[in-house]
Amino acid sequence: MRVLVIGASGYIGGRLVELMRVDGPQWQVTAAVRRPRAALRVSKQISLEATDPAQMAAALADVDAVVNCVAGDGRSIEAGAKVLFDAALAAPTKPIVIHFSTMAVYGSSVGRVHENDALKPDIGWYSEVKVKAEQMARDFAAKGGRVVILRPGIVYGPGSELWIGRTARWLRAGRLGDIGPLGDGMCNLVHVDDVCAAVLAALRTPAAIGEAFNLAAPNPDNWNRFFARLAVAIGATPLQRLSPRRVKFDSKLFGPPLKIGEILLKKLGVKAPWWPEPIPPSVFAVWQQDIVLDAAKTTRVLGLRWTAVEDGIAGSADWFLRK
């Protein structure tokens, strides 16, 4: 199968092309990136601006499937989805589109959520734009397109700066720990390798076409439990008990100047691993969200075997400590 991976330089896209290479010659992979990267060991790389209709049409001219791993701001996500679905409809090969959505499309829902539950674009711009992109996917399917929608929870694993790297650094610095009610929300972890396995299974499973799938390991813990597990794994113990007020004070007082300094250092081209990372207020809503992704359908239809959280955190901690 000829597969185009858009956003192959990102966390999920990069791991996906690596696993497809290991999986064998049944996958003929083209990695689409903004700028070529030597670290991507694939037979073919192309430069692609995902919001350019002409470039997208050319990229889809001779592929059987396309996996959209593009991240970014609201405009690029929405515009990129429209360009992709329009190009896929017009492509001579009528490729399958694997569309990455997110658990954020469930918005302010609480409790256990299933794939046929109502979507709620009510928790910020990311939720809103992802719901719009899913509607484009549904419109694409209504017009005869073949699409599979994947809704991952918290994607972690070796190489995850977002959920492992910075969290581990906050724990080591004593800026994060057991944060009481602020960390009582459910942590719907899904290992990056399980996300990639879902992509490969979806491409192999005709019954997946036109369906949406939640991606999360069963029986999630709350965030405080995740912080404790990670702290033990990286040796950041004893785990501090911090009041929610203290953590929010850190975010409010130090967040803006730390972020400004981070931006300035980046513009100057200075690598500063010693620079403290701000705790963005956006994570508080995530840490408190009382939602559980039900992934029974994914297990049943795609046959996924989920990575045990204990093993996933151990591997992630090993990466962090080596790094």
In the prediction, which pLDDT does 119 show? 96
**Per-residue buried b or exposed e for 262-278, using 16+ beta carbons within 10 Å of the residue's own CB:** eeeeeeeeeeeeeeebb
φ, ψ at 121 (rounded to 5°): -85, 60
Taking the C-alpha atoms of residue 45 and residue 34, their distance in angstroms, rounded to an integer, is 10
Residue 205 buriedness (CB in 10 A; 0-12 / 13-18 / 19+): middle
Taking the C-alpha atoms of residue 139 and residue 257, their distance in angstroms, rounded to an integer, is 44
Rounded to 5°, angle at Cα 319 from 265 and 239: 85
In the prediction, which pLDDT does 38 show? 64
Q: Is residue 39 over pLDDT 70?
A: no
pLDDT confidence tier of residue 180, bands split at 50, 70 and 90: very high
The domain segmentation of the chain, as residue ranges, is 2-160+188-220+290-308, 162-182+223-287
Which of the following CATH numbers is that of domain 2-160+188-220+290-308: 3.40.30.10, 3.40.630.30, 3.40.50.720, 3.40.50.2300?
A: 3.40.50.720
Taking the C-alpha atoms of residue 48 and residue 145, their distance in angstroms, rounded to an integer, is 22
Task: State pLDDT tens for residues 205-243.
Answer: 999 999 999 999 999 999 999 999 999 999 999 999 999
Range 272-282 average pLDDT: 85
Taking the C-alpha atoms of residue 74 and residue 77, their distance in angstroms, rounded to an integer, is 5
Record the pTM.
0.94
In the prediction, which pLDDT does 272 show? 76
**Coil/strand/helix, residue 225:** helix
* Beta bridge partner(s), residue 149: 99, 212
Taking the C-alpha atoms of residue 309 and residue 323, their distance in angstroms, rounded to an integer, is 21
Q: Is residue 295 over pLDDT 70?
A: yes
Task: State pLDDT tens for residues 126-178.
Answer: 999 999 999 999 999 999 999 999 999 999 999 999 999 999 999 999 999 99
Q: What residues contact 9, with CB distance under 8 A and at least 6 apart?
A: 31, 33, 34, 35, 37, 40
Taking the C-alpha atoms of residue 310 and residue 321, their distance in angstroms, rounded to an integer, is 16
Report the share of the chain in percent with pLDDT over 90: 82
In the prediction, which pLDDT does 44 show? 85
Taking the C-alpha atoms of residue 256 and residue 241, their distance in angstroms, rounded to an integer, is 24
Which CA distances in Å does 279 have to 176, 247, 259, 283?
9, 8, 9, 8
pLDDT confidence tier of residue 34, bands split at 50, 70 and 90: confident
Q: Is residue 269 over pLDDT 80?
A: yes
pLDDT confidence tier of residue 268, bands split at 50, 70 and 90: confident
Q: Residue 139 is which amino acid?
A: D
Task: State pLDDT tens for residues 72-87.
Answer: 888 889 999 999 999 9
Contact in structure between 31 and 214 (CB atoms under 8 Å): no
Task: State pLDDT tens for residues 83-102.
Answer: 999 999 999 999 999 999 99
